[in-house]
Amino acid sequence: MSKTVIRGRLIKQKHGKIMLVQNKPMPPLTQSELDKVYSLPYARAYHPSYEKLGGVPGIKEVEFSITHNRGCFGACNFCSIAFHQGRYVTSRSKKSIIAEAEKLTHMPGFKGYIHDVGGPTANFRKPSCTFQEKHGLCKGKKCLAPKPCKNLSVDHSEYLDILRQVRSLPKVKKVFIRSGIRYDYLLEDKDDTFFKELVEHHVSGQLKVAPEHCSASVLDKMGKPHIEAYIKFSRRYFEYTGEINKEQYLVPYLMSSHPGSTLDDAIELALFLKKNHIQTGAGAGFLSHAGHGVHLHVLHRAGPVHAQAGVCGENAGGKGHAARTAAILRAEEHAAGAQGAAAGSSGRPDPAFVRRARGWEKRGHTAVQRGAPAACGRCAAAWRRHKRCAHGRQTR
């Protein structure tokens, strides 16, 4: 069944004496309709009944944020946005966005910082090409993966103009972009003005992007661009950051367990992280879903967060954890051997870590040596016992 309004058709299926009807997809909201939706008098706060429970902490991240678009033509295979917002991108008018920004400046608690002017993908303002206006999005093809389509229309000028207007408002000190940036789309823009202003004005210390993996075979299954695009983007990002003498970072989102990925792919990712000196704080794993096959996210965090979330190694999925442990150990041994050969030493990984990890692996636990510090996925009591990593450093 097509999810686009142009190709979508009504589907009927008889079930006993009942007829099940699946309506064709609704057309996306027009810009004027979207403006009207966002002009409604929302409370912009959680329900007062939550006050006695201490409020809703999560609202702090979005309280002073602005959504400027809907839909995403990236259509990654694991993402649900294509299902509930569609691949056709619509956006609010500049007037509507500025009006909301001005309203934020008069809200209680506003301190001059607008946390986000974004959406499903922050730097999309219009459909990917003119072809889809009459014919719909290409069937069986993606606009950006494995390589950007030759018909892709790339233009950040309107988005940049909006950001400039918002950051020039009275009482506004900074305007950040915390929604996802499609760096592969950004790289296709021949004018680097937006890229430079993004780095100079709209990064709150670190920019989060989503390469998701480094293995070409896994990225193809995800519907994501190959890792070379991320490497090219990161080089330019740090180049522009250096030009303005700022200390800013790039935070890549990565995932494990995507359908079709193997232990060899996990090892490749582990070696990529080690080579590029990336320490993982959190990662996403995936469970299959009937709608698309890769829809439910499971967050795996290093450190005592397992205990805080009520999840320990024993009830977090034994065989899967053991497999991940084995992959990490193999990667550690491979990388350490290569480094040792270069240094003229034996290149053995830390024996204390290996002994502990082998034991945890047998019991279905996870052990990950991130260089330093190390972390284990055992329960809170075990974490308190392992207060220091294999290198003697204090763990996080």
Tens digit of pLDDT per residue, the chain (396 long)? 556 777 788 899 999 999 999 898 888 999 999 999 999 999 999 999 999 999 999 898 899 999 999 999 998 988 888 888 888 999 999 999 999 999 999 999 999 999 999 999 999 999 999 888 888 888 888 999 999 999 999 999 999 999 999 999 999 999 999 998 999 999 999 999 999 999 999 999 999 999 999 999 999 999 999 999 999 999 999 999 999 999 999 999 998 888 888 999 999 999 999 998 887 766 666 654 444 444 444 444 443 333 333 333 333 344 444 455 455 555 555 544 544 444 344 444 455 555 555 555 454 444 333 333 333 444 334 434 444 443 344 443
Q: Is the Cβ–Cβ distance between 367 and 377 less than 8 Å?
A: yes
Distances (CA, A) of 334 to 123, 337, 348, 350: 39, 5, 9, 13
pLDDT for position 275 = 92
**Angle, vertex CA 174, rays to CA 173 and CA 176, nearest 5:** 165
Residue that has been written with the tokens 């899967």 in this structure? 320
CA gap 67, 90 in Å, rounded = 11
pLDDT for position 138 = 86
pLDDT for position 329 = 52
Looking at this protein, which amino acid is placed at residue 196? K
- Retrieve residue 201's tokens: 């004005």
pTM: 0.72
pLDDT for position 330 = 54
- Residue 242: partners with Cβ closer than 8 Å, 6 or more residues away: none
Q: Is the Cβ–Cβ distance between 294 and 288 less than 8 Å?
A: yes
Q: 3-state class of 152 per DSSP?
A: coil
Burial class of residue 162 (count of CB atoms within 10 Å of its CB; 0-12, 13-18, 19+): buried
pLDDT for position 380 = 38
- Region for residue 357 given its phi and psi (left: phi exceeds 0; alpha: psi -120 to 50; beta: otherwise): alpha
